[in-house]
Amino acid sequence: MTLEFLGTLRGLAYLAAGMMFILSLRGLSTQESARRGNLLGILGMTLAVVITAALFFFNVTGGQGALSFDGPESSGTTTGLLAAALIGGGAIGAMLAARVAMTSMPELVAVLHSFVGAAAVLVGIATYLQPSGVEGARTIHLVEIYVGILVGAVTFSGSIIAFTKLRGIVGSRPLMLPGRHLLNLVLLLASAVLGGLFLQAPGAEGLPYLLAMTALALLLGVHLVMAIGGGDMPVVVSLLNSYSGWAAAAAGFMLSNDLLIVTGALVGSSGAILSIIMCRAMNRSIWNVVFGGFGAAPPKKVAAGEAAPAGKVNETSVKEVAAQLLTAKNVIIVPGYGMAVAQAQHAVKEISSLLIEKGVNVRYAIHPVAGRLPGHMNVLLAEANVSYEIVKEMEEINEDFAHTDMVLVIGANDIVNPSALDDPGSPIYGMPVLEVWKAARVVMLKRSMNAGYAGIDNPLAYRDNTFMLFGDARKSVTNLLTELRA
């Protein structure tokens, strides 16, 4: 095969893969087409990996000419290493994907983002140490390397901290250091100064400046995510997704790989748009999430309210809840992270199906930041084969709570907190929430009266029309299903 033919084949394959990625994002925009979108993304990435590996085996790289090896033995070794990396990485990825539970999906996503950041850093350093034959474009190339490593390092360390917070290794409350904004500014200015020195260094003598900036960027990533509270973790995961995309795009510039640039730009822009949409759903700006330190220290008004809750807690039983569900005409189910932890989505689906068979109007209400991952609840319900037609977003269903006989809140806390609307002293004041308290009766399924992941007490539990069903969510809904069938 000629070099020209392989270059043309590479361009066509990359074009096809890029189109598949675009169609994949389009498909992922709705629940009905999400499976098709996911499949297109898989096909596009498979095509990209196969064509890149094939070109490498033919000693062609990036359309820039043949690879040079010290000899056949070195070429065989390199090819063997690439094959081992592809097979080994694919096997590890498949094993993790098969074994990971939906409750651990946010942590897995955070770890995968860290891999992208680490790859961008390593590719940048390797590219800098490799002699460049384009002397006139050296400055531009060095800027690409520097920015790519900066973004990659922030993504790597930030994702690791996000993983530890989601895993519970590090507390969910934000770390609010004195002068934290000044610290971030100093780190950025120091990185800029090191960048100037790096660009002026001849040959590979700028490596110390590059490594120093990498250390500062790692510290910046740690500090940025440590200063974000647990209640904002869904936005953080989405934001890190955007960072990883821009890191991949930067790596594409370093490697002169058009597909990597396009893919990174798609991931980066879509992650940024999703983050902004989620922030709007919380009535906050992206800057407030990143730098605001939400959940650091509840105001005194909230703390005082915790000591004297407005009313008593009304407990209920499985038998009572079952009887009330059977006499209700309109029922709304609000899933939260507690349902994911208990793996109760299948039993909940059976309950809704049984009630629908008996003529009850059952729907699910989804808050944009329910769970710890964008779309977490939607994925759980899809896994349980809940019909998309009865899964409603907050904007679609909020007005219907006033005409609802009963609401089941399963493992959700912060997204149904009335303090967001009626308590100016609450940290979540102004955040749109599911107004479940307007229903005739609310049943909250919780393990205990502990606050949610954001660490905020929920006055909903003390309202007269709210009843608490304590216990493990899976056990409670299973017993409830058994009672309904009886």
Q: List pLDDT tens digits, range 293-303.
A: 554 544 444 44
The pLDDT of residue 3 is 62
Residue 61 has pLDDT above 80, yes or no: no
The pLDDT of residue 39 is 93
CB-based contact 330:404 (threshold 8 Å): yes
Query: Residue 34: which pLDDT band, with cuts at 50, 70 and 90?
Result: confident
CB-based contact 457:451 (threshold 8 Å): yes
Residue 385 DSSP label: T
The Cα 337–Cα 212 span in angstroms is 40
Residue 70 has pLDDT above 50, yes or no: no
Residue 60 has pLDDT above 50, yes or no: no
The pLDDT of residue 59 is 60
The secondary structure element, H or E, covering residue 469 is strand 466-470
Query: CATH number of 312-485: 3.60.150.10, 3.40.50.970, 3.90.700.10, 3.40.50.1220?
Result: 3.40.50.1220
Highest mean pLDDT, choosing among 173-182, 303-312, 445-454 = 173-182
The pLDDT of residue 342 is 82
The Cα 336–Cα 433 span in angstroms is 13
Residue 41 has pLDDT above 90, yes or no: yes
Position with higher pLDDT, 468 vs 282 = 468
- In this predicted model, what pLDDT tens digit does every residue of 338-387 receive, in sequence order? 888 888 888 999 999 999 999 999 999 998 888 777 778 888 888 888 88
Largest CA distance in the chain: 81
Residue 307 has pLDDT above 70, yes or no: no
Secondary-structure breakdown of the chain: helix, strand, coil percentages, each rounded to the nearest 5: 65, 5, 30
Say what percent of the chain tops pLDDT 90.
36
The pLDDT of residue 76 is 59
The Cα 226–Cα 112 span in angstroms is 19
Of 109-123, 305-319, 404-418, which range is least confident?
A: 305-319
Residue 256 DSSP label: T
The pLDDT of residue 384 is 86
Backbone φ/ψ region at 83: left (φ over 0), alpha (ψ -120 to 50), beta = alpha
Domain limits of the chain? 102-297, 312-485
The Cα 104–Cα 182 span in angstroms is 35
The pLDDT of residue 311 is 58
The pLDDT of residue 121 is 94
Residue 330 DSSP label: E
414 as an active site residue: the answer is yes
The pLDDT of residue 135 is 54
The Cα 464–Cα 442 span in angstroms is 9
CB atoms within 10 A of CB 92: 10
Rounded mean pLDDT of 34-58?
Answer: 86
Rounded mean pLDDT of 138-162?
Answer: 91
Residue 344: Cβ-neighbour burial (10 angstroms; 0-12, 13-18, 19+):
buried
Residue 151 has pLDDT above 90, yes or no: yes
The pLDDT of residue 454 is 58
Q: Which pair of structure tokens corresponds to residue 157?
A: 């360390």
Highest mean pLDDT, choosing among 78-87, 94-103, 251-260, 300-309 = 251-260
The Cα 19–Cα 279 span in angstroms is 29
The pLDDT of residue 430 is 80
The Cα 173–Cα 453 span in angstroms is 9
Q: What does pLDDT average to over the chain?
A: 83
Position with higher pLDDT, 206 vs 426 = 206
Helix (H, G, I), strand (E, B) or coil at 174: coil
Report the DSSP pairing between strands 442-446 and 466-470: parallel
Of 26-35, 112-121, 159-168, which range is least confident?
A: 26-35
CB-based contact 406:379 (threshold 8 Å): no
The Cα 122–Cα 286 span in angstroms is 29
Q: Which pair of structure tokens corresponds to residue 218?
A: 């790692």
**HEC profile of 285-307:** CHHHHHHCCCCCCCCHHHHHHHH
Query: Residue 101: which pLDDT band, with cuts at 50, 70 and 90?
Result: confident
Of 50-64, 165-179, 207-221, which range is least confident?
A: 50-64
CB atoms within 10 A of CB 321: 23
The Cα 108–Cα 142 span in angstroms is 32
From 414, 423, 457, 472, active-site residue: 414
